[in-house]
Amino acid sequence: MSFEDPRGSLPLPRMQVHQPAPKLQQSRRSFPQLPRAKHHRLKKFPCYDWIFSSATNMHIAIDKYWFKSFTPFDTYVLTVAGQHQVSIRGIGSVDLKIRCKPNSHQSRVIHLENVLYVPSWTCNIFSDIYFNPSSGYDFEHKWTKNGVCFTKRMEGKVKAWGYTESFCGLDRLVLSRKPHGRSPMLEDKDREVWSVNLNWPLSQRDKWDEFTAKELRRLVKDHEAEILAQQQKAQQKAVTESTELLLPKNNDSEHPNPKLKSTSPPPSASKISVRSKSETNLAKVMARQVSVASLNLEQAGARMSLNELSSNKTVTIKTDPESRVSSLKASVNASRGLLKDFLAARAEDKENRPGRASIGGL
């Protein structure tokens, strides 16, 4: 028994091997690279290094971020090492929030006055020479093996107010929050420890004192001018009120505008129709009252005659019938008189009303 190949004499299929596509790096070599977009410039973070120094006679801040109040003022300080001038751009006050003591979450605030703004320096400086106590409470500091500890006397007690930590061979204040910013001292590899100290010359201090005195005199002068202007305004107001009281009142003061005293224009046809309708309704009401009063009078007379006929005896009534009848007659006569006067006034008003002929002619 033989088997035949079902494919017969068909040729064998050929196997095609697919080669992988070239890598992207190879395809990009033939095209020029496009320039990448520049990222936006990040905001400059403030320096968080506040170095405690006993060789600097002023507080120094290198970022405006720390200032609570600021006054632009151009002066300079001298480096202690080389006596080089470093520019100052202003002076102001700074509030430092520092940690109270190690392993504690309590924080304290130290207020610094006359802090120099030196943007080109390497760190902020907290000076122990020019330290201003606040509100009569004295600050004290002492050196320990771990650094400097700050205390403050309050109500006869000494309270911990802050401390420092070792940093690049110096003492740095421990702030209440974790450091978040830049540290130029760590970025500068060729730094020297003694190069952070600065000295503000006495001549530049005198210049600052003259500037503050001049500004103070200007503020006092402006304040006095403002007070004088307010006094003059108050005096002028008092004189005006007194003259108004002394002068006689004018009768035409109630109507200063002569146009307001002129007669009002004649009413329109719609207003006349509304007024005539209201008058007609009032006349109907008064006529109804007269008819009701006359009906009551007739009923009272009929009752009196019926009582006299049904009884031979004299009937005593608590209310006198004659007075009742007379009062009813008086009310009826009064109502009739009011109705007659009203109708006469209405007829006279129609005859004398302006624009009546023109309205009728239409």
Nearest residue to 199 (alpha-carbon basis) of 287, 311, 290, 118: 118
H or E stretch covering 72: strand 67-79
40-97 tens-digit pLDDT: 443 468 888 898 888 888 899 999 999 999 999 999 999 887 778 899 999 999 998 8
Q: How far apart are CA 66 and CA 309, in angstroms?
A: 118
Q: Is the dihedral of CA 148, 153, 156, 157 positive or negative?
A: negative
For the chain, give the number of residues.
362
pLDDT band at 235 (very low <50, low <70, confident <90, very high): confident
pLDDT score for 312: 46
Q: Is the dihedral of CA 225, 228, 229, 230 positive or negative?
A: positive
Q: How far apart are CA 165 and CA 182, in angstroms?
A: 17
Query: Could you tell me which residues are beta bridge partners of residue 61?
Result: 117
H or E stretch covering 139: strand 139-144
Cα–Cα–Cα angle for 65, 66, 71, rounded to 5 degrees: 90
247 or 358, which is more confident? 247
139-150 burial, b if ≥16 CB within 10 A, otherwise e?
A: bebeeeeebbbb
315 to each of 300, 301, 309, 322, how far by Cα in Å?
15, 15, 11, 13
276-324 tens-digit pLDDT: 555 566 666 666 665 666 556 556 555 555 455 444 444 444 445 566 6
Query: Could you tell me which residues are beta bridge partners of residue 112?
Result: 94
Q: Please name the residue that has the structure tokens 């703004």.
A: 117
- DSSP per-residue letters across 179-229: --SB-HHHH-TT--GGGG-EE--HHHHHHHHHHHHHHHHHHHHHHHHHHHH
Q: How far apart are CA 194 and CA 169, in angstroms?
A: 10
pLDDT band at 163 (very low <50, low <70, confident <90, very high): confident
248 or 71, which is more confident? 71
Phi-psi region of 169 (alpha: psi -120 to 50; beta: other; left: phi over 0): left
Contact (CB, 8 A) for 171 and 193: no
**Residue 242 pLDDT more than 80?**
no
148 or 305, which is more confident? 148
Over residues 260-286, the mean pLDDT reads 55
**Residue 107 pLDDT more than 80?**
yes
117 to each of 61, 85, 120, 121, 284, how far by Cα in Å?
5, 14, 9, 9, 96
CB proximity list for 112: less than 8 A, separation 6 or greater: 59, 93, 94, 95, 96, 126, 132
Find the range with the poorest average confidence among 42-56, 198-212, 216-230, 296-310: 296-310
